Amino acid sequence: MTDETPLLEVSGLRIALASGTPIVDGVDLTLARGEILGIVGESGSGKTTTALALLGHAQRGAEITGGSVRVAGREVLGLSRAERREIRGKLISYVPQDAGQALNPSLRIADSVTDVLRRHREPAPAAVLGLLGSVDLPATTEFGRRLPHQLSGGQQQRVTIAISLACEPPVIVMDEPTTGLDVLTQQSVLDEIRRLRAERGASLVYVSHDLAVVSQIADRVAVMYAGRIVEEGPIATLMERPRHPYTRGLLQSIPDHRRPARLLPMAGSAPGVEERPDGCAFAPRCPQAADDCRTTPPVLESVDFERHQVRCPHWELTPPATLGIPRDRTEVTAGPALQVRGLRASHKGRGGTVVVAEDISFDVRRGECLALVGESGSGKTTIARCLVGLHLPDGGSVRLRDAPLPARIRKRSAAQRRGIQYVFQNPYQSLNPRRRIGEDLARPGHVLRGLSVAEARAEVGSLLERVQLSPRLADRYPSQLSGGERQRVAIARALAARPDVLVCDEVTSALDVSVQAAILEALAELRDDLGVALLFITHDLGVVSGVADRVLVLEGGRICETGPTDSVLRTPEHPYTQRLVAAAPTLAAR
């Protein structure tokens, strides 16, 4: 890090909807040469909006209403269209999220690269290939002739990075460049970015929802909440001693496989753009909020030394983050609730039959949580669907409470259907949009437990309370609920059946990390209180460490390792597990 004038200087940046509602409200940032600045925030925090504004761009329906963005001494805002186009790519470039969607499906990748390269210099084929080579892609004409869909997700993302380097801009903005990639691919892309910085001295703004990822790559980090930066400083300082209660809460919410611990979720969820409160936007969720917090918007204050700033008047009161309260994992000795033996499943597609799970055997005891871990395509969801009867397995047997469980739903008794319940991955599609929450929640009791409609309805209130929701939600429609609330309702609906086994399929992967922590803790409590057996399916080792007693690692449809969570995560034996553990983002790596 050098002390010359910053390469990127943002001050008082404001972006508002056409209605005047601010999305981003007074953001200040600086980026020094050769530095990586992380911008972290949950959905709706305004981080992507801020990132795009660095290139002078506002999304449809939004407008940059004030402030200044200077890149290498040049003002970006208030430029004409032509001037703006001129600086993009040359002065500051952009790496989009989801490269598979962002690359032009009709252009060969060499042509995509050439389109940007030609703005900088006469595009020679050698230069194009050189760029591809510089991000570790094959620098061959054959590779350049490929179309985006012929590349893997990691390769696609590398192409977008190569494009961002084409005109050698001093500043590169990366917007969630690894979101949606498998953990191993994510690791390789992060390595690539580190190398670029080391070799080229690239200066980066790295936007992500994932503090663990950012902590691995950034020098400094700015934490955004409800359109404002609430804390900013060197990454190590922030991780060690967060001063804003939100940063602290975030740290305590992130499950980390290197540091298996109880999660301490924050109350509530982040406000939407239209419902941000006066005063400090975090006040409603803040454990140390005082009266003045609800009326006066706080300003950024310097902590200890100049480069650590926090937007909280009471930052001195913020206690250090409580990390690493170990979860007491009592050895579960109860009998098995579910026994799976030699399960085999396949998908019939146009290309023939593909076996997705083979020779899968495991037990889940009562009151135990078993995690099924694997990357996309490992067969974990298919296994879960076989158990609940939504997919017909090719072979193997399943026993529920020591009695054989037929594969077909039609052959299962009501008691068997009641005994095993499923919570789906996508909370936005798991509740019927045309029915009120109460109706949805009353249904399992009526159908599976033989309650009358009135009896089942009478239970709705206590079910909602069971998952820490207000009984008033019963009259709402799913669209009136946040993602976290919907997932709680989905869990409540499963609980309404009084299951012996609860299968949770990636139930938190669509949720923000603070909401995820609350859901994970709620599930852990339910297991303790109700003694229900949990089968938890996830790709996220952090989540595993947060909830599971035992873990089962899947690779390509087969079990490659199984054992108690702590020992598998600490001393993995199978090479695949070792790679997974090494690649999973962690806060503790620094």
Partner 1 sequence: MSALLKTYSPRRVPFGAALRRRTPKTLSGRIGLALLVLTLTVALLGPLCTPYSPDRTVGIPFAGPTAGHPLGLDFLGRDVLSRVLSGGLSVVLYAGVATLAAYAVGLTVGLLAGYSRSWLEPLLMRLTDVLLAFPALVFLLLLATAFGRGITGVVIATALIQLPPIVRIVRSAALEQSLRGYVEAAVARGEGTLSVLRREILPNIARPVAADAGLRFSWSVLLIAGVNFLGLGLQPPAADWGLMVSENRGGIALNPSSMLVAAALLGALTLAINLLGDALAGGTE
Partner 2 sequence: MTATLVPTAAPTSPSSFGSRHPLARVALRRIAGGILTLFVLSVLVFLATSVLPGDAASAILGKQATPDAVAELRHAMGLDRPLVVQYGKWLAGLLHGDLGNTAAGYAAGGRSGVWDQISGKLGNSLVLAATVFVPVLLLSLVLGVLTALRAGRWLDHLVTTVTLVPAALPEFVLGTVLLAVFFTWLDILPPVSFVAPGASPFATPETLVLPVLTLVGVTVGPATRMIRAGMQEALLSDPVAVARLNGISEARVVRRYALRNALAPSIQVFALIAQYLVGGLLIVEDLFGYPGIGKELVDAVTVHDNLEVQSVTMLLATFYVAVTIAADLLVMAVVPKLRTGGTS
Q: Which residues lie near partner 2 (CB under 8 A)? A: 52, 55, 57, 60, 81, 85-90, 93-94, 96, 98, 101-108, 115-116, 119, 147, 149-150, 160, 163-164, 167, 350-351
- 150 binding partner (options partner 2, partner 1, none; Cβ < 5 to 8 Å by kind): partner 2
C-alpha torsion sign, points 409, 412, 414, 416: negative
Structure tokens at 172: 């590169």
Centre a 10 Å sphere on the Cβ of residue 115 and count the other Cβ atoms it contains.
15
Secondary structure element (H or E) that encloses residue 535, with its range: strand 533-538
Per CB under 8 A, 412 contacts partner 1: yes
- DSSP bridge pairs for 364: 338
Shortest gap between Cβ of 429 and partner 1 (angstroms)?
5
User: Which residue's CB is nearer to partner 1, number 109 or number 491?
Assistant: 491
Per CB under 8 A, 136 contacts partner 1: no
Structure tokens at 173: 């903005």
Question: Using CA atoms, how far apart are residues 528 and 506, in angstroms rounded to an integer?
Answer: 20
Structure tokens at 69: 């963005």
- 85 binding partner (options partner 2, partner 1, none; Cβ < 5 to 8 Å by kind): partner 2
Site residues for partner 1, window 538-567 (CB under 8 A)? none
- DSSP bridge pairs for 346: 355
Instruction: Check: CB of residue 207 under 8 Å from CB of residue 49.
Output: no
User: Which residue's CB is nearer to partner 2, number 115 or number 375?
Assistant: 115
The residues near 30 (Cβ < 8 Å, ≥ 6 apart) are 6, 8, 9, 10
> What SS3 state is found at 546?
helix
Shortest gap between Cβ of 96 and partner 2 (angstroms)?
5
User: Which residue's CB is nearer to partner 2, number 161 or number 532?
Assistant: 161
User: Which residue's CB is nearer to partner 1, number 261 or number 447?
Assistant: 447
Alpha-carbon distances, residue 106 vs 148, 150, 303, 397 (angstroms): 8, 12, 51, 48
Secondary structure element (H or E) that encloses residue 125, with its range: helix 125-134
User: Which residue's CB is nearer to partner 1, number 339 or number 425?
Assistant: 425
Shortest gap between Cβ of 51 and partner 2 (angstroms)?
10
Question: Using CA atoms, how far apart are residues 538 and 504, in angstroms rounded to an integer?
Answer: 9
Per CB under 8 A, 457 contacts partner 1: yes
Question: Using CA atoms, how far apart are residues 562 and 560, in angstroms rounded to an integer?
Answer: 7
User: Which residue's CB is nearer to partner 1, number 8 or number 507?
Assistant: 507
Backbone φ, ψ for residue 173 (5° rounding): -105, 125
User: Which residue's CB is nearer to partner 2, number 97 or number 514?
Assistant: 97
User: Which residue's CB is nearer to partner 1, number 334 or number 414?
Assistant: 414
- 412 binding partner (options partner 1, partner 2, none; Cβ < 5 to 8 Å by kind): partner 1
Question: Using CA atoms, how far apart are residues 230 and 478, in angstroms rounded to an integer?
Answer: 31
Question: Using CA atoms, how far apart are residues 41 and 250, in angstroms rounded to an integer?
Answer: 9
Per CB under 8 A, 315 contacts partner 1: no
Shortest gap between Cβ of 252 and partner 1 (angstroms)?
29
Per CB under 8 A, 462 contacts partner 1: yes
- 438 binding partner (options partner 1, partner 2, none; Cβ < 5 to 8 Å by kind): partner 1
Instruction: Check: CB of residue 314 under 8 Å from CB of residue 247.
Output: no
Tell me the number of residues near partner 1 by CB under 8 A. 44
Instruction: Check: CB of residue 477 under 8 Å from CB of residue 433.
Output: yes
**Angle CA(82)–CA(86)–CA(88) in degrees, nearest 5?**
120
Shortest gap between Cβ of 159 and partner 2 (angstroms)?
11
Secondary structure element (H or E) that encloses residue 423, with its range: strand 420-423
Site residues for partner 1, window 227-266 (CB under 8 A)? none
Per CB under 8 A, 475 contacts partner 1: yes
User: Which residue's CB is nearer to partner 2, number 164 or number 382?
Assistant: 164
- 484 binding partner (options partner 1, partner 2, none; Cβ < 5 to 8 Å by kind): none
Here's the x/- map for partner 1, 355-394, by CB under 8 A: it reads as: ---------------------------------xxx----
DSSP E strands in 235-335: the ranges are: 301-303, 305-310
Instruction: Check: CB of residue 329 under 8 Å from CB of residue 546.
Output: no
User: Which residue's CB is nearer to partner 1, number 217 or number 474?
Assistant: 474
CA distance from start to end of the chain? 18
- 228 binding partner (options partner 2, partner 1, none; Cβ < 5 to 8 Å by kind): none
User: Which residue's CB is nearer to partner 2, number 108 or number 558?
Assistant: 108
Here's the x/- map for partner 1, 85-104, by CB under 8 A: it reads as: --------------------
Per CB under 8 A, 417 contacts partner 1: yes
- 102 binding partner (options partner 2, partner 1, none; Cβ < 5 to 8 Å by kind): partner 2
User: Which residue's CB is nearer to partner 1, number 124 or number 414?
Assistant: 414
Here's the x/- map for partner 1, 481-500, by CB under 8 A: it reads as: ---------x--x---x---
Question: Using CA atoms, how far apart are residues 259 and 565, in angstroms rounded to an integer?
Answer: 12
User: Which residue's CB is nearer to partner 2, number 162 or number 524?
Assistant: 162
C-alpha torsion sign, points 42, 46, 52, 57: positive
Radius of gyration of the chain (CA): 25
What b/e sequence results for 208-229 when a residue is b if at least 16 CB atoms lie within 10 Å of its CB, and e otherwise? bbbbbbbbbbbbbbbbbbbbbb
Per CB under 8 A, 452 contacts partner 1: no
Per CB under 8 A, 472 contacts partner 1: yes
User: Which residue's CB is nearer to partner 1, number 442 or number 526?
Assistant: 442
- 435 binding partner (options partner 1, partner 2, none; Cβ < 5 to 8 Å by kind): partner 1
- DSSP bridge pairs for 536: 371, 504
Question: Using CA atoms, how far apart are residues 99 and 158, in angstroms rounded to an integer?
Answer: 9
Shortest gap between Cβ of 436 and partner 1 (angstroms)?
6
Shortest gap between Cβ of 268 and partner 1 (angstroms)?
18
Q: How many CA atoms lie within 13 A of 130 on its CB side?
A: 10
Here's the x/- map for partner 1, 420-449, by CB under 8 A: it reads as: -xx-xxx--xxxxxxxx-xxxxxxx--xx-
Binding site for partner 1 (CB under 8 A): 388-390, 409-410, 412, 414, 417, 421-422, 424-426, 429-436, 438-444, 447-448, 457-458, 460-462, 465, 470-472, 474-475, 490, 493, 497
